[in-house]
Structure 1
Amino acid sequence: MLHLQEPTPQSLGFRMPAEWAPHAATWISWPSDNELWFGFLEPVREEFKTLVTTIARFEPVHVLVRDEEAHKDATTRLAGVPGLTFHTIPLDDVWFRDNGPIFIKRGEELSFVNWVFNSWGEKFNWHKDNAAPEAVAEYLDMAHWDVDVVMEGGSLEVNGLGLCMTTRQCLLEEKRNPGFSEAKLEGYLRDYLGITKVLWLEDGLENDHTDGHIDTIIRFVNENTVVCSVEPNLEDPNHATMQRNLDLLKTFTDQDGNPLKVIELPLPQNRLELEGDRLPPTYANFYIGNGFVAVPTYGDPNDERALDVLRAVFPDREVIGLSSRAIINGGGSFHCVTQQQPAGVIWKG
């Protein structure tokens, strides 16, 4: 397969598509390390089983397992689920949105960009996870680009027309790309993902170890509409942060200079903690697939309110609430653990 740096994807006409564009498949990693899951591995695997089974109703799923035990567990729990392909690939963790490839398209041709992953600024082990995109490339026999820049899929939200949202808290964090300016980062997003305009938000949720990933707070639901997480409790530290982001969104315009439509999405009402530390549960970490939207729920009073908001903005998709109460102990949810492979013809270079 072909590994490229130059010419850039943008110069060849490639661009990162929106998540709602048709998928060929979903990629997901199977949870394996009980210590990483603070002793909650069993309920986490049950929630993964429900998530994978749900996605497989709509599109094929590639399940990455790191060893023989994970393979046996996944195949046993998912026995009888159609459309699954299992891949044994050494892994550190499950957050494939961030360590997996970021796919790009030119017409019907499909490729991807392999960015560097360093576990959100060297917070955990990452070297095995960083090698995973090459395993995907080998399986797909896909020509792709390797870029020596740290970039995580959860830090970027795109509308498929060249518009991207992100946060300064994440992309400018010094342990990712020391010394990089906004302009330099925008240059890489332009050259490798076809981004023509970046909307910079400020901060993310309290105690989010990803340092403010955009996919936990603000999401595109179509080309010019976003949902924005809000916290009405004035005493909650998330209130001021979410309000600032909401106010900024109302001043932003899209790639053509048109104002965005902004819809408020509640955060869960109940405060969740693990070993005394606050967790960052959110409904914005939903995953959009072929004909469906999988939305994390937490047994919270706001679960149904959030589902109602999302059903209204996704009228042509089945909006499905699934429990993520165990998965959130790891700090993320459904969008964080999935990566869509857009429909298209594999590019050979």
Structure 2
Amino acid sequence: MITRRKFVQTSLLLSGGLLIRPTSAATSLTSASTANDWFMPDESEPHTRTWMAFGASQAIWGKKLLPEVQRNLALIARTIAQFEPVSMLVRKSDYALARKLVGASVTLVIAPMDDLWMRDTGAVFVVTEKGDKAAIKFNFNGWGNKQEHTQDMHIASFVATQAATKILSTKLVLEGGGIEVDGQGTAIITESCVLNANRNPGISKVSCEAELKRLLGLEKIIWLPGIKGKDITDGHTDFYARFAKPGVVVAGYDADPQSFDHAVTKKHLNILKTATDANGKRLHVVVIEGPATIRPTYESNDFAAGYINFYVCNGAVIAPEFGDKKADNAAKTKLQTLFPNRKIVQLNIDGIAAGGGGIHCTTQQEPKI
């Protein structure tokens, strides 16, 4: 089974489906000049809607896990739909099942796709102070050609068309899960993902940073090292650190010394606790440790048992729970303190977690202007 936590190369790969990427640091990343007035809002700013994808398939998820993953996707969609509109992409062949599972509260949009990870395949929306909106197409390449993506590589453009927004082009290759912003000029990004040769070969850190600043309206990027080769994403930011609001970061810590994430999360905390934002202010870092135990039903070596991959929607924070009552309650209490004016809703998403993903990975917000 191909999951976000396991590398399985599929027909190495997709001979006709790869996008052209720059091959040297001298290559310009900018496809077209644009005024630097676009910016990516913080996730907690008002949304027009949430985009999702009912894209799990037996070929990727396996016969046993697929039904639970589909139920998890529907549960997430129905829950978010209590707070804001949800548009969910679905294959024509899965439409009847999706409609049965999500009910009438979710808008279904027929589209071809390979998988369910809208955070990574979908458009990253940016806005201007004047009220303009655009969608960035970050040239999804299957997390560095690790998974079939001949259909998912077009999802960003499809979503942009559905949202009736212009597309901002770039030659940079990355995924939305690798980007975390405070909406006021600061971003947290992992080097292991964006500065990886499987996405952006030959691109210098300086060139990459300049292009990200242009596209996302950034003044400062806090780079975390992340970790390559341990999960399919090469260490996305949204499993390690999230902004609760400008100046306040929620960070994960893996307390298990035997875990590959133990040392890197410790290093991340040291960086974040001494970092300053675009305004020169020291970050306040709140740590949420993962659960000590999980439910055994879908336990796997790929299971992503962490609370950092929550999703902030209008009026609520949608977060996971893993059956460890003490850890689940502690996470909920901290999130409620961090988001006092939002309802904290915890969901059992064990099927998706067994594939190495989380709630945030399945969603992409479209900001309201």
TM-score (norm 2): 0.86
- Structure 2 vs 1, CA of residues 177 and 266 (structure 1 numbering), >3 Å: closer, same or farther? same
Deviations 1:3-58 (A, max 9, x none): x94232xx251111110010000000003302311331111111112111110001
Tell me the matched-pair count.
Answer: 336
Q: 2:308 aligns with which of 284, 288, 292?
A: 284
8 Å CA contact 2:294, 2:324 repeated in 1: no
1-structure distance, mates of 2:166, 2:268: 38
Q: What residue is the counterpart of 1:298 in the other structure?
A: 322
**Residue 272 of structure 1: CA displacement?**
8.6
Moved more, 303-312 or 197-206: 197-206
Shift in Å at residue 165 of structure 1? 0.4
Displacement of 1:206: 8.7
**How many Å apart are 1:150 and its aligned residue?**
0.5
Cα distance, 1:168 vs structure 2 = 1.4
Does the 8 Å contact 1:31/1:44 carry over to 2? no
Mapped pair 1:219 → 2:242: yes
Relative to structure 1, the CA distance from residue 162 to residue 272 in structure 2 (aligned partners, 3 Å threshold; closer, same or farther) is: farther
Task: Choose the corresponding residue for 1:169, options 168, 180, 192.
Answer: 192
2:232: which partner in 1?
Answer: 209
Moved more, 45-54 or 22-31: 45-54
1:1-349 paired onto structure 2 within 5 Å? 5-8=31-34, 11-38=35-62, 39-66=64-91, 68-81=92-105, 84-107=106-129, 108-204=131-227, 207-270=230-293, 277-301=301-325, 302-344=327-369
Say if 2:36 and 2:215, in contact at 8 Å, map to a contact too.
no
| Counterpart residue identity of residue 109, structure 2 | H
Query: Which structure has the highest strand share of the two?
Result: 1
RMSD (Å), alpha carbons: 2.0
Amino acid at match of 1:281: A
- Report the secondary structure of 1:321's partner residue: strand
Secondary structure at the counterpart of residue 148 of structure 1 = coil
Question: What is the deviation of 1:233?
Answer: 3.4
Q: In structure 2, what is the Cα distance between the partners aligned to 1:275 and 1:205?
A: 23
1:189 alignment partner AA: L
Q: CA deviation at 1:208?
A: 2.5
Q: CA deviation at 1:140?
A: 2.6
Cα distance in structure 2, aligned partners of 1:133 and 1:242: 30
Aligned AA (1:93): D
| Percent of pairs with identical residues | 33
Residues 247 and 294 (structure 1 numbering): CA distance in 2 closer, same or farther, change over 3 Å? same
Listed one character per residue, the Cα deviations across residues 118-172 of structure 1 (whole Å, up to 9, x for unaligned) are: 1110000112111112222222332221222202100010000110101111112
Distance 1:297 1:35 in 2: 27
Q: What CA distance in whole angstroms lies between the structure 2 residues aligned with 1:31 and 1:304?
A: 31
Provide the C-alpha distance between the structure 2 equivalents of 1:235 and 1:152, rounded to a whole number of angstroms.
28
Cα-to-partner distance string for 1:180-239 (whole Å, 9 max, x where unaligned): 121111011011111111101112599322111010111100011001111233344332
**Cα 1:88–1:80, aligned 2, differ >3 Å: closer, same or farther?**
closer
Change (3 A) 1:231 1:263: same
Q: Is the 8 A contact 1:204 1:216 kept in 2?
A: no
In structure 2, relative to structure 1, the CA distance for the partners of 1:79 and 1:234 (3 Å cut) is: closer
In 1: Cα distance, 2:32 partner to 2:124 partner: 17
Deviations 1:264-306 (A, max 9, x none): 1111223799896343321100000000000012223422221
Contact 2:191 2:225 in 1 (8 A): yes
Show structure 2 runs of 5+ residues with no match.
Answer: 1-29
Code of the residue aligned with 2:223 in structure 1: it is: W
Contact residue 302 and residue 355 of structure 2 kept, 8 A: no
Structure 1: which amino acid aligns with 2:347? Answer: L
CA deviation after TM superposition for structure 1 residue 340, in Å? 0.3
